[in-house]
Amino acid sequence: MTLLLGIRRSGKSSLVKVLMKEEKGIWLYLDLRKFESSAYISYKDIIQELEKSINTSLPERLKKVLAGVKGVNFAVVNVIFNWWKARIELAQILDKLSEIAEKEGERIIIIFNESQELRKLKGVNLLYPIAYAFDNLKVKFIFTSSEIGMVYDFLKLDKSDSPLYGRSYTEVNVPPFGKETSLEFLRKGFEEFKMKVEERELEDAVNTLGGIPGWLTYYGFNYIQEKDHVKALNKTVETAISLIKKEFNNFLKGREGAKERYKTIMTVCKNGCKWKEAKIALEAKEGVRIDDKRFTQLLNNLVKASFLIKEGEIYKPTDVLIEKAFS
């Protein structure tokens, strides 16, 4: 089991796509990003996502083998999960996939992209079939996540009453680029397009956008379209801010009661804050005293969702553009 962690747009999905292309094995990629704005996910959603990934990744003859599972048919070229007729058991599908892997002498790797979304799944505990597969089958899992604390909350690897308790895992972190790497990344990118861009413009871009590959790539794309540094940079910042606001609104879903509080904390902490400072500022705004535990919980939720990061005593945005989004 591997956890691939890094803030939004740090390059996790790109890394996984490269692995899928270059490493042998049967790769099943379940993209849960589409549930970012949902308040909850149903078992059916997961089963349909699995069906889709199987149909994209497995050759026809192997899809046929899967049709032996209850509720699974094979028609024309695809497997069909008849979830409306029979309850599809994930453990049985995993059994079959493992059997296929064994026969083919291949590894089978299931990727849950943005796996923190799985915590919104209602009615079933996915940790049981995952633990079962981990203990008994030839199936490997990769969980990617942009919300590092949230994915640990979901997997509960260190909770003694959890199905996955004590299982071994590898954590791989994808940090943003440092300044030099960011500059080199832009230089190389422009070179590929045979574009000559002044060094001070690259510096300005990196100083404004930080080392997040997603923003740097988007700036490069805009530069190539606009052929103008200022226009390209402004467009990048504008888009980034609106995207971050949208993501923050997704975070607030199901947390409506504390919406104003979360916004205030982000605004107070946009240039870095200490626990005490932020609490005093929030209390001043509301004119009431706030329970210490409750305040810590609010602050921690922002950290778990990777909007803030704690460095020593200081809480600060994980991305310079988050700082701008709350200015």
Ligand X SMILES: Nc1ncnc2c1ncn2[C@@H]1O[C@H](COP(=O)(O)OP(=O)(O)O)[C@@H](O)[C@H]1O
Q: Footprint of ligand X on this chain (CB under 6 A)?
A: 6, 8-14, 146, 213-214, 217
The count of C-alpha atoms lying within 13 angstroms of the C-alpha of 278, restricted to the half-sphere facing its C-beta, is 29
Task: Give Cβ neighbours of residue 138 (< 8 Å, ≥ 6 apart).
Answer: 98, 101, 102, 107, 108
Residue placing its CB nearer to ligand X in the complex, 127 or 186: 186
CB of 189 to Mg ion, least distance (A): 19
CB of 176 to ligand X, least distance (A): 10
Backbone angles phi, psi at 134, to 5 degrees: -60, -40
CB of 215 to ligand X, least distance (A): 8
CB of 326 to ligand X, least distance (A): 20
CB of 110 to Mg ion, least distance (A): 16
Name the nearest CA neighbour of 306 among 124, 150, 160.
Answer: 150
Looking only at the bridges linking them, the beta strands covering 26-31 and 2-5 are: unpaired
H or E element, residue 150: helix 148-155
Residue placing its CB nearer to ligand X in the complex, 4 or 66: 4
Residue placing its CB nearer to ligand X in the complex, 87 or 188: 188
* Given 3, 4, 6, 13, the residue binding Mg ion (CB under 5 A): 13
* Residue 270 near which of Mg ion, ligand X, none (CB within 5-8 Å, type-dependent): none
Number of residues located near Mg ion, criterion CB under 5 A: 1
- Please give the Cα distance from 14 to 111 (Å, whole number): 13
Task: Give Cβ neighbours of residue 139 (< 8 Å, ≥ 6 apart).
Answer: 94, 97, 98, 101, 108, 109, 110, 133
* Residue 11 near which of ligand X, Mg ion, none (CB within 5-8 Å, type-dependent): ligand X
Residue placing its CB nearer to Mg ion in the complex, 16 or 90: 16
Residues within the interface to Mg ion (CB under 5 A) = 13
